[in-house]
Structure 1
Amino acid sequence: MNTKKGIQILKNYGFFVKILSFCIFLLYPYVKNNYQRKRVTTLSPELQNVINWFLSKDSMSPKKLQKLLYYAYSWTLTLENEDSEELENRLFEEDFEAWVHGPVIPDVYFEYRNYGYQNIPKKDFSPDLPEEIEDILEQVWEEYGEFTGNELETITHKEDPWRNARKGYNPIERCNEKISDIDIFNYYIQQVEYID
C-alpha cells in the first residue's frame, strides 16, 4: 500500500513539474521583456546634456552616439587636466566599459537600445554648456561627426584604451571592464603632443 502511494505521489509530482515547466516556457518571453522594459537608467545631468548636444546636431544610431560620447569624454579629460596623476576634470561621472563594439556607457545603451540600428531622432534644442566644453564638443563633432557608428567602432578598436581594457578577452567575448581614465589620458595626450 505504501509503495503504491509513493508511486502515485511521484506520478503526480512529475505531472506537476511538467505543468510548471510548460507555464515557465509560456511566460518567459513576457517576464524577460517586462524586466528589460523596467530597467531604470539614471544618466547624470552632465551626460544628458552632452547627449542632447550631439543629438541637436543630427539624428544618429546609438552606436555612433556612444562613440561620440567617448571621444568627447576623452578629449575633455585630456585637454582639461594637467597630468594623469590628477584627473579631476571629467565631462561627466559615468565610466566607459570595453564592450565588443567599442567603448560603451551601459546606462546609455539601455536608454537607447530600443532604437537598435535605427537613428535616434534629432533634438530641436541644444543645451547651454560652458564655453570651453562646447568648444571641445564642436571639435569632436568636426573630427568624428561624418563617420558612421561602425566606422567609429573600427577607430576605437585600434586605440590603446579600449585594447588595454580588453586584454585577455577574445574579440567576440563579452567584457564589462572599465576603460581606465589614466589610459585614456596617456593615449590622447600623445596625440595632442604629436599634432603640436
Structure 2
Amino acid sequence: MATVQDVAAYILAKAGPMTATKLQKLCYFAYGYHLAWEERQLFPERFEAWANGPVAPALHAKHRGRFELQRGDIEGDATALDDDERESVDVVLESLGVFSAHELSTMTHREGPWVHARERAGAQHLERSTEELLDLEISDFFNALIDREG
C-alpha cells in the first residue's frame, strides 16, 4: 500500500507545481474516491478536520511553511502506487486538477466527512480541531457523489 507521501509525490510528478493546500485537497479527493471505487484505503494515514478543510498531518509535516510545491519537494515513491491506485489518482487529477486550492477547499466544506468531524469535535468556525475523518463517512459521502455524477 502506498503512503500519503507516495501519493503526493505522484501528484506533484504528474500535475505540479501547486500550492500545499491544493496538494492536500487532491490527496483527500483521491483518497475518498479510491475508498468508494475500490473499497480500500489509498494510504493508511488519516485526515483531520482542520479549520481549512481535511488535512493529512503526516503530509503537512513534510511541507509545513511552504506555499508552493513542485516535483521532488515531497519525499515519496511515486512508483509505489499499484495500477488501481494510480488510476484513482489519475481520474481525480483529470476531473479536479483544474480547480484552485480555494475551490477545492470550498468543496470539502459544503457537507460530508469534514463537516461531521467538526461537529463531533464541537469546533467553531476557524477553530483548530484534530478530529479524524472516519472512513465510513468518507466512503458513504463519495459513494453518494458517484451516484449523483453517474
The two structures, once aligned, show a CA RMSD in angstroms of 1.9
Contact 1:103 1:162 in 2 (8 A): yes
After TM superposition, where is structure 1 displaced by more than 4 Å over at least 4 residues in a row?
none
Letter in 1 for 2:99: F
Q: For 2:5 and 2:61, how far apart are their aligned partners in 1?
A: 14
Once the two structures are TM-superposed, the CA of residue 190 in structure 1 deviates from its matched residue by 1.1
1:135 matched to which residue of 2? 87
Which of 158, 167, 189 is the aligned partner of 2:110?
A: 158
Could you tell me the TM-score, scaled by structure 1's length? 0.68
Once the two structures are TM-superposed, the CA of residue 194 in structure 1 deviates from its matched residue by 2.1
Deviation sequence 1:99-123 (CA, Å, 0-9, x none): 00100011211210121x3x11234
Could you tell me the TM-score, scaled by structure 2's length? 0.88
Q: 1:93 to 1:193 in 2, by over 3 A?
A: same
Secondary structure of 1:75's counterpart equals helix
Secondary structure of 1:127's counterpart equals helix
Which of 61, 86, 91 is the aligned partner of 2:19?
A: 61
2:4 matched to which residue of 1? 47
Gaps of 5+ in 2: none
Contact 2:5 2:59 in 1 (8 A): no
Which of 127, 136, 149 is the aligned partner of 1:173?
A: 127
Secondary structure of 2:54's counterpart equals strand
Deviation sequence 1:36-80 (CA, Å, 0-9, x none): xxxxxxxx9522221111010211111111101101110111111
Contact 1:52 1:127 in 2 (8 A): no
Deviation sequence 1:3-50 (CA, Å, 0-9, x none): xxxxxxxxxxxxxxxxxxxxxxxxxxxxxxxxxxxxxxxxx9522221
Q: For 1:61 and 1:184, how far apart are their aligned partners in 2?
A: 24
Please identify the structure whose Cα radius of gyration is greater.
1
Question: Is 1:183 matched with 2:141?
Answer: no
Question: Is 1:121 matched with 2:70?
Answer: yes
Q: 1:192 to 1:127 in 2, by over 3 A?
A: same
Letter in 1 for 2:60: Y
Q: 1:45 to 1:187 in 2, by over 3 A?
A: closer
Letter in 2 for 1:49: D
Q: For 1:128 and 1:105, how far apart are their aligned partners in 2?
A: 19
Gaps of 5+ in 1: 1-43, 82-88
Which of 92, 101, 123 is the aligned partner of 2:43?
A: 92
Contact 2:10 2:78 in 1 (8 A): yes
Structure with more relative contact order (C-alpha pairs < 8 Å, separation 6 or more): 2
Secondary structure of 1:98's counterpart equals strand
Report % sequence identity: 34
Letter in 1 for 2:19: S
